[in-house]
Amino acid sequence: MGASPEQSRRVILVGRTGLDAKLRADPDLELLRVRNAMEAIAELGDPIDELSPAKAVVVFGEGSTPGAGTRVDEAMTDAVAGLRLVDPTVAIMGTTPLPASVLAALDGALDPGADGEDIADQIRGIRTPTPPAATPADASRAVLPPKPADPAQPIDPAAALANGQDPVESVLATVRDALNDKTLRLENGHVPNGAAVVWHGRVLATMLSDASSVEKMAAHAPTLAPWLAIREQFRRLRLAAYSDPLTGAWNRRYFDQFLSGALAAARDQRHNVTILVFDIDNFKSYNDRFGHEAGDDILIETVRLLRSVIRPTDRVCRIGGDEFAVIFHEPQGPRDPASRHPTSIHAIAARFQSQVRSACFPKLGSDAPGTLTISGGLATYPWDGTTPAELLRRADELAIEGKMQGKNVIMFGPGTPQDSQ
């Protein structure tokens, strides 16, 4: 007998839990396995089906956090903080091989040796935390250190962070009100003649003012410190969740989300968006002949070269093994209102293609099988497609056409302008 909708669970297994096989067959559990806490945070913030009513349960196993002893405790504290920031209602459990000190801080413990049905029932029955209400400091106690006795209290900084806003600005506004000082401001790092905001012995920022004394500002530093630390941690987590660790390019998750947003803005403002999808011709032969280290160097250099020719508002994404995508996007539209789209895009692609052909890769040696080449396709909204899926499909089709013509070709759809140079 299946579980009720209220007991459906989206289960994210982190590390070696030993639960995969036992839970896979349960139709009421949406099962997902990730390698570490960073990936769990990313998946929690990007569910497969945003309309699903299933509550999220994250289960940590061995290898899910680095270090040993107290370092495991610290790593788990950071992981829990990140998970709670993304979804305050997530239930967080662990498997019994984890230290008792870690399990005691979670919402429940699971025994991998137990019967699969019993484990599933325990996961379905776990009580998920209540979302933050009017007092964020109370609902966020798993994220924050003990609330300081300072009279200045944050005005819902947790809600600001959840909405993609800066929580520090919310807290800083409260401190300004407490000091009746509109000149109060923050500077990154240590600045002389200011009040340092310190977290675990590290100066995160300095409070400066044209009206308040250092002593008065310093009294409010403990209020700001944890939120500065959380903001920094959240930025690191988001960067890790949306970037490719090898090349530093944005990853497929970022590509999907950014392209959707760019197209929505283009529809509203009547702008154009072009994507370039390309891969390295015969890349597998380089990996097979010269090794994966040489292949990695090729991928890293490809991204570096591409970044050297694109514009600051464009995005380079790695969406597959040796497959990349570039989103050519101008948020403010072209400088010339009469222009459909910047005419430099085809020139940018051609210049990049030329740079790849002439690039030097020492690990390939003198007997490399010719120069590197790329094949790709350029597709432009709205002529080549009006949705992310349509644009990507059209760019892929054009890239395949280029390969059929002998490779080392970038094809473009009717909406992609060509430079006359």
pLDDT digits (tens, 9 = 90+) for 139-181: 223 222 333 334 344 446 766 666 666 788 888 888 999 999 9
Q: What share of the chain is helix, strand, coil (3-state, %, to 5)?
A: 40, 20, 40
Q: What is the 3-state secondary structure (H, E, C) of 352-418?
A: HHHHHHHCCCHHHCCCCCCCCCEEEEEEEECCCCCCHHHHHHHHHHHHHHHHHCCCCCEEECCCCCC
Please state the rounded mean pLDDT for residues 178-202: 91
- Nearest partner of 229 among 193, 200, 209, judged by Cα: 200
What residues does 86 pair with on adjacent strands? Answer: none
DSSP classification of residue 200 = T
Q: Higher model confidence: residue 316 or residue 24? A: 316
Please state the rounded mean pLDDT for residues 347-364: 76
pLDDT digits (tens, 9 = 90+) for 40-94: 876 776 554 443 446 889 999 887 665 444 456 677 777 887 788 777 788 999 9
pLDDT digits (tens, 9 = 90+) for 276-302: 999 888 888 888 888 888 888 889 988
pLDDT digits (tens, 9 = 90+) for 241-275: 888 989 999 999 889 888 988 898 888 888 889 99
Return the structure tokens found at 316: 């380079």
Q: Higher model confidence: residue 240 or residue 185? A: 185
- Nearest partner of 407 among 371, 375, 369, judged by Cα: 375
Q: Which amino acid type is present at position 402?
A: G
Percent of the chain clearing pLDDT 70 (strictly above): 76
- pLDDT above 80 for 416: no
- pLDDT above 50 for 36: yes
In the chain the first and final C-alpha atoms are separated, in Å, by 69
- pLDDT above 80 for 121: yes
pLDDT value at residue 65? 62
The answer to pTM > 0.85 is no
What residues does 32 pair with on adjacent strands? Answer: 12
pLDDT value at residue 158? 67
User: Which bin fits 365, alpha (ψ -120 to 50), beta or left (φ > 0)?
Assistant: left
What is the sign of the dihedral through the CA atoms of 291, 294, 300 and 306? negative
pLDDT value at residue 147? 36
